[in-house]
Structure formats: C-alpha cells, structure tokens
A and B are shown apart, each in its own frame.
Chain A
Amino acid sequence: MCETCGCGEASAHVHAHPLAPPSALGSGQAPTLTLPPAPSRHIELGRAVLADNDARAADNRRWLAERGVRMVDLISSPGSGKTALLEATLDALAARIRVAIIVGDPETDNDARRLRGHGAEVRQVETAGACHLDAAHVRRHLVELAGGGLDLLIVENVGNLVCPAAFDLGQGRRIALLSVTEGEDKPLKYPALFHRADAVVITKCDLIPHLRWDRAACLANLRRVRPDVRVIEVSAWTGQGLEDWTDYLAGAP
C-alpha cells in the first residue's frame, strides 16, 4: 500500500490524486482502512446430497455389468429372517450358479459365520455402528469377490428399514424383506424403502396359522407405495416359495 496516501497502489508512484486529509495520516503511519464486507452471493446448486455415493454406485454398476455379474441388495428390519433365507437360498442356488455374499452389520461377524459352508464366498462388513452400507463399502470387496468370475452377488444390508433405502450400492435390484410377524402396515410406515423396492419377499409364512396376518391388507398397503411391486411369499423353514425366489434371483438383472 502507498504509505503517503494509503491509496492501495504500489509505494513508488506519482500522486496525481488528492492526498488523504491530514487527520487520516496521523503521525506518519499508514492509515488503517476498513474495507466494506464483500457482498454475499447466492449460488443455485440443485445437487443431490448423495450425488457422490450415487456416482460410486454407478461405477460399481458399470464394473459389474462389464463382467456379467448381477447384484441384489436385500433390505429389511433386524430379525426379519434375511440370514435364514440366505442359508436356504445358497443351499438351493450355489450348485447352479456362482454366488457370493456381502453381509453388513454394525458389529460381529455372526451372520458371515452362519453363511459360510453353504457354497458361497462371504465377506462381512462391520460398519462400526453405522446403520447402512454405502457404495464404497461394496466397492472394497468387489474385485476380490467378483474379479475371478461370479454370477450373483447378494448384499445383505444392515437390518434397518430407513437408512439403507437412501444409499444406492450399484445393485441391479433392490429387494425388501417383510416378515409376517412385523405387521401389514410396515409399507405405509416405511414408504421410502418399499417405494424403491423392485421386489418384496414376505418371509416366515409358515407362522401365518399362529398370527392374525391379513395378507390382502399387506398387499394393498404395498401397492399404495409401489403399485407394480413383485411379491414373493416364502418360508425358509418349510421351503414354501423358495423355488420362485431362487428363480427370481437367478434371473435378476
């Protein structure tokens, strides 16, 4: 800054402009200037908060498609029977096609230990308390599980009907599980998940004789949030519906 007049130019220059008033110059020191605050600016963005995850999921989807690997994301509440269904699924499918599983849980590898020995590679993701898997979690296991050739990758998401629905993993199909003990109105209580589900598997159907389960009400509720949803009714215990389910999985995109 010019010390003679405080004009903001380099110090050696001709003073063609009037000098600052003496009061501002004080005892020969540069006057302190207070700059007006920079004007604020409004910036329109319109960007999805999860755009980064969506981009990673799109990478996963492309990577899998290039190798002919199908991926499904299974989402449900804790205790709805995902792991039991997967044990029965692997027993039926692993002889026909190459299957691998990624299991997400906040803590423990109990589910992975249950699923091993059924003919599929299994990887446990312990999310350290987080309530969902994201595309990066899946990406970390893709090369190891699918790089050597694979037909179907099943992701057993963290048991939760809310958060996992928001995170695209790169799956071909998102499948919600709903057990008959949970009540017919779950689709209305958790519409975000059921709205995004390509198929809904109703589990534990062997328990229906012991429950006040209103099948028609459940199906009507599902159709209110996802009018064209595919519904598959199963029991991992008796084997009911398992053929429909495994055929659906084997043919999933």
Chain B
Amino acid sequence: MHELSLVAAVCDEALRVLAREGASRVLSIRLLLGVLSCADRDALALCFPLAVRDTPLEGARLEVEAEPLLLHCNECGSDSKSWDALLVCAVCQSGAVEVRGGRDLVIASMEVQ
C-alpha cells in the first residue's frame, strides 16, 4: 500500500503547476492508472482527501481513468490492448511483445482556475 506516497507525489506536482500557471485553485486532477502501475484505484481515492486537507488543493476532484496495456508484437507487427497483465499478442498469441503503455501512473491533466 504505497498509494499515500503516490498521492503525495501527485499533490506536489499539482502545487507546482498551480504556482507555474498563476492560478488560485485546482478544480480537478485526472490520472491515468496503467494496468501495470502497481496502484489501486480505491486506495488512491481513499488517500486523496487526507493528502489535500488544509492545502490549496482542498476541494479538488480526483478522476482516475484506467489505462490498458499497449502491446506491440514483434512477431506479427500488430498493436493491441490488454486489460489483464499478460504479455501476449491479442492477434497472434505470441509472447514476443513490447509494452508501449499502461505501465505507469500518469498525471494526465488538471483543471485550474
């Protein structure tokens, strides 16, 4: 359970963006949660209100969107998506695939005012 560390890192970045943009508050933060990101959506949602309390981020909405694995097959050349964490090409079932997305937890965007 390292989601509090992750949420703290999200808050650090959101505060930096707030200062850089000269905005006064954050309305929402959108995260992309990759299948292989090692993070749990519910735990993120649980930690967020605790992390933002008494900070300029208080009241911001956290949106978490799941992101599938993006696989590129080195055998048949096709790109496919996978919602489970198996590294198998959806087209030819080869295991010779590269992961091109869905590995990380990413701050996709923010809405500021």
Contacts and interface: CB of A to CB of B under 8 A. Distances in A.
Given A40-B113, A49-B107, A50-B105, A166 B9 contact: no
A50 B111 contact: no
Contacts of B21: 41, 43
A232 to B, nearest CB: 20
A35 interface: no
A195 interface: yes
A23 B85 CA distance: 68
Nearest to A40: B113
A162 B87 contact: no
B47 to A, nearest CB: 12
A250 B106 CA distance: 36
Chain A: interface secondary structure? mixed
A43 B109 contact: yes
B100 interface: no
Contact of B112 (A40, A52, A131): A40
B46 interface: no
A49 B9 contact: yes
Given A38-B24, A191-B85, A47 B107 contact: yes
A2 to B, nearest CB: 25
Nearest to A158: B2
Nearest to A44: B109
Greatest chain B CB density within 10 A among A50, A134, A225 is at A50
Interface in A131-153: 131-132, 134
21 contacts: A37-B113, A40-B111, A40-B113, A42-B109, A42-B110, A44-B109, A45-B107, A45-B110, A47-B106, A47-B107, A49-B9, A49-B106, A50-B6, A131-B2, A188-B86, A192-B36, A192-B38, A193-B38, A195-B85, A225-B86, A226-B87
Nearest 8 pairs between A and B by C-beta? A191-B85, A163-B2, A227-B95, A166-B38, A49-B105, A192-B38, A40-B113, A192-B36
